[in-house]
């Protein structure tokens, strides 16, 4: 029988643990989220982050800037947040409007407040981490971190498994491949130029998808009994759907995440967890 990996349940457990720790702290962890423009999906996501902060007793600041805000103005906002002692974590919501240089803005965030591991220094730290790395010193990107925790929640070992990641973005695909390698999986990264994608995905004990193509992964593309983590989120006539065709995969997979209710809640829970980590490090 295929088992559903419920991200809502696991995320609630994380939030409750964070809430308990925050209640004992004299200085409350603070998260600032900067949103430039009116992207509907981003606005919903930012509101969810703010709600989660309030729920666990953290300080939350949401900065909404018009679509035409200049790069100089965005950098001024980040500079203020970098120097604000109430703020321990800063997240700039991507994608940004096309007139803004994403690399310049992301790398203006203080390394010590980079809550989603976007800064090139922290990405380098993640890549170079080994068994001697202090986990308290390492900030792990929220979505990849949540994906690993979802896999581990099944009770199945990652070590020695064949993992296939479909997608090579800097936000999900690349960092989750690094984390799977750290867990001693054998990792293959597939993308739009991969020849015969099906032959790769059908060998996967663990399949992670993050490509933004609705219902792209079908039942004939997966290995029987595999763990399927769907990090895609696509809005269509049927509402929100993932990269995985859930109906054709659900009876063949061993474990599978739903969309919505899988990776999404874990991303926000891990953001809260990372904010707490940065606040404790600062203290």
Q: Cite the active site residues.
A: 49, 93, 116
**Distance from chain centroid for Cα 152:** 16
| 8 Å CB contact between 169 and 270 | no
Bridge partners (DSSP) listed for residue 87: none
**Cα maximum dimension of the chain:** 56
Q: What is the spatial distance between Cα 254 and Cα 225, in angstroms, rounded to a whole number?
A: 4
Q: What is the spatial distance between Cα 261 and Cα 259, in angstroms, rounded to a whole number?
A: 5
**Distance from chain centroid for Cα 44:** 16
| Dihedral pair phi/psi, residue 209, rounded to 5° | -115, 135
Token readout for 60 is: 């939350």
How many other CB atoms are there within 10 angstroms of residue 278's CB atom?
Answer: 22
Token readout for 59 is: 């300080």
How many other CB atoms are there within 10 angstroms of residue 25's CB atom?
Answer: 14
């Amino acid at each position: 029988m295929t088992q559903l990996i419920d991200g809502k349940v696991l995320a609630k457990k994380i939030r409750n643990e964070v809430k308990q720790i925050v209640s004992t702290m004299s200085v409350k962890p603070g998260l600032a989220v900067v949103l430039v423009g009116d992207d509907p999906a981003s606005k919903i996501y930012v509101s969810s982050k703010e709600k989660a902060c309030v729920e666990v007793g953290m300080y939350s600041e949401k900065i909404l800037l018009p679509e035409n805000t200049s790069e100089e103005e965005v950098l001024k906002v980040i500079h203020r947040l970098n120097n604000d002692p109430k703020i321990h974590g800063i997240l700039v919501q991507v994608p940004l409007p096309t007139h803004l240089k994403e690399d310049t803005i992301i790398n203006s965030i203080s390394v010590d407040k980079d809550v989603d591991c976007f800064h090139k220094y922290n990405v380098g730290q993640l890549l170079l981490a080994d068994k001697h790395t202090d986990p308290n010193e390492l900030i792990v990107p929220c979505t990849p971190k949540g994906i690993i925790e979802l896999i581990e929640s099944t009770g199945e070992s990652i070590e020695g498994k064949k993992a296939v990641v479909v997608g090579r973005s800097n936000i999900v695909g690349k960092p989750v491949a690094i984390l799977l390698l750290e867990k001693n999986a054998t990792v293959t990264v597939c993308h739009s130029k991969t020849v015969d994608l099906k032959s790769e995905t059908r060998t996967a004990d663990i399949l992670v998808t993050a490509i933004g193509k609705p219902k792209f992964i079908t039942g004939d593309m997966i290995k029987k009994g595999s763990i399927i983590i769907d990090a895609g989120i696509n809005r269509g006539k049927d509402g929100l759907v993932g990269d995985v065709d859930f109906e054709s995969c659900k009876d063949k997979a061993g474990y599978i995440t739903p969309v919505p209710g899988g990776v999404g809640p874990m991303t926000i829970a891990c953001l809260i967890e990372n904010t707490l980590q940065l606040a404790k490090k600062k203290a």
